[in-house]
């Protein structure tokens, strides 16, 4: 049973509660006289999508990023609370982060996880999503609490990611037992880290999992602004995140965008995305570019889903399908078979995962 939590200052709590209430009324009223924003969306999913969009928009309008973070954390919903997963904060000299350890892990793999939030936010709800991921996959996860922008622009996040990878290697975890994973900006960090690992002469992990990854920090694809009406993240926010990431450094958009990198000789990459999210066009472009360069890559797109739909857990069938596919991908690295996920738009490519024809659309 999902659980909604209010916290923080009373002004933030009251505004967030009023936003949730007004969004609920708007959605229910529209359902009476019209139709869902997207065919197949449940009422709770539509409410959540529009609510979090409003929350992000207001957070961006506040005077400081610190206040924006506090406001966004003032109301959030946990899809599956009270999961049997232990959360343990790291201690010095370990990298800053948290271990998420399920009660009965059934894999020798360890996931090194990079959270989303445009590199500027690390919402409380993200930590609950990582807990959910550890439970669904039954794998220990170390989630890096990397330095945030705009206070710490590039290369701070990349440095923190590589330090965490070296830390796992130093603990005696071989590279073939490490899986890199991340969502949104964390997916960006996953893809950029593969390149950085190769440049640093470090071994590649067994697999990279990128959920709704940000693959170009500039402008790319019609969906970046064309899907604003569907998604919780908005196109203008991605451009601001990109400016914060660059800071005052000499970095071009291409220098900090996965799609513009040399993608040869990297670990296998499995990407999941929603067909209604603003990043879907740049994600598809990245998959095609990586395949063109010879990368071992697969992309699955759930046609009617939004950015980071994975976080809904058992309350959303598509989220459960995605989690099953993630488990299958990890099993594949141990010698299993990675069959196409059901009921997705399969943008899989001719790679070690198997042949799947691009743009083979299966409606949900």
Ordered by start, the domain boundaries in the chain are 3-78, 85-346
pLDDT value for 341: 55
Q: How many angstroms separate the most distant Cα atoms in the chain?
A: 60
**Residues with pLDDT less than 70, the chain:** 334-364
Assigned fold of 85-346:
Rossmann fold (3.40.50)
CA separation for the pair 112, 194 (Å, rounded): 12
CA separation for the pair 364, 358 (Å, rounded): 17
pTM recorded for the entire structure: 0.93
Q: How many CB atoms lie within 10 A of CB 228?
A: 15
Q: Are 138 and 204 in contact (CB under 8 A)?
A: no
């Amino acid at each position: 049973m999902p659980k909604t939590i209010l916290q923080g200052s009373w002004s933030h709590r009251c505004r967030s509660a009023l936003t949730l209430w007004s969004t609920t009324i708007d959605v229910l009223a529209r359902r009476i006289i019209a139709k869902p924003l997207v065919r197949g969306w449940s009422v709770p999913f539509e409410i959540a999508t529009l609510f979090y969009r409003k929350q992000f928009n207001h957070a961006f309008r506040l005077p400081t990023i610190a206040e924006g973070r506090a406001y966004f954390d003032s109301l959030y919903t946990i899809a599956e609370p009270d999961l049997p997963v232990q959360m343990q904060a790291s201690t010095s000299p370990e990298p800053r982060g948290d271990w998420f350890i399920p009660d009965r892990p059934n894999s020798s793999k360890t996931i090194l996880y990079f959270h989303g939030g445009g590199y500027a936010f690390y919402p409380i709800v993200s930590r609950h999503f990582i807990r959910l991921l550890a439970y669904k996959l039954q794998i220990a996860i170390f989630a890096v609490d990397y330095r945030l922008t705009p206070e710490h622009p590039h290369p701070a996040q990349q440095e923190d990611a590589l330090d965490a990878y070296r830390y796992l290697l130093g603990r005696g975890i071989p590279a073939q037992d490490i899986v890199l994973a991340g969502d949104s900006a964390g997916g960006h960090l996953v893809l950029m880290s593969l390149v950085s690992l190769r440049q640093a002469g470090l071994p590649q992990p067994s697999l990279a999992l990128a959920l709704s990854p940000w693959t170009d920090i500039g402008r790319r694809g019609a969906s970046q602004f064309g899907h604003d009406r569907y998604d919780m993240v908005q196109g203008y926010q991605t451009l601001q995140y990109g400016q914060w990431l660059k800071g005052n450094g000499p970095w071009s958009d291409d220098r900090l965008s996965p799609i513009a990198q040399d993608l040869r000789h990297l670990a296998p990459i499995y990407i999941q995305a929603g067909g209604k999210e603003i990043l879907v066009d740049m994600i598809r472009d990245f998959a095609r570019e990586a395949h063109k360069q010879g990368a071992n890559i697969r992309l699955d797109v759930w046609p009617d889903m939004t950015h980071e739909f994975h976080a809904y857990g058992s309350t959303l069938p598509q989220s459960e399908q995605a989690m099953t596919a993630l488990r299958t991908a990890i099993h594949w690295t141990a010698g299993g078979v990675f069959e196409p996920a059901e009921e997705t738009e399969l943008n899989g490519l001719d790679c070690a995962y198997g042949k799947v024809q691009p743009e083979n659309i299966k409606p949900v």
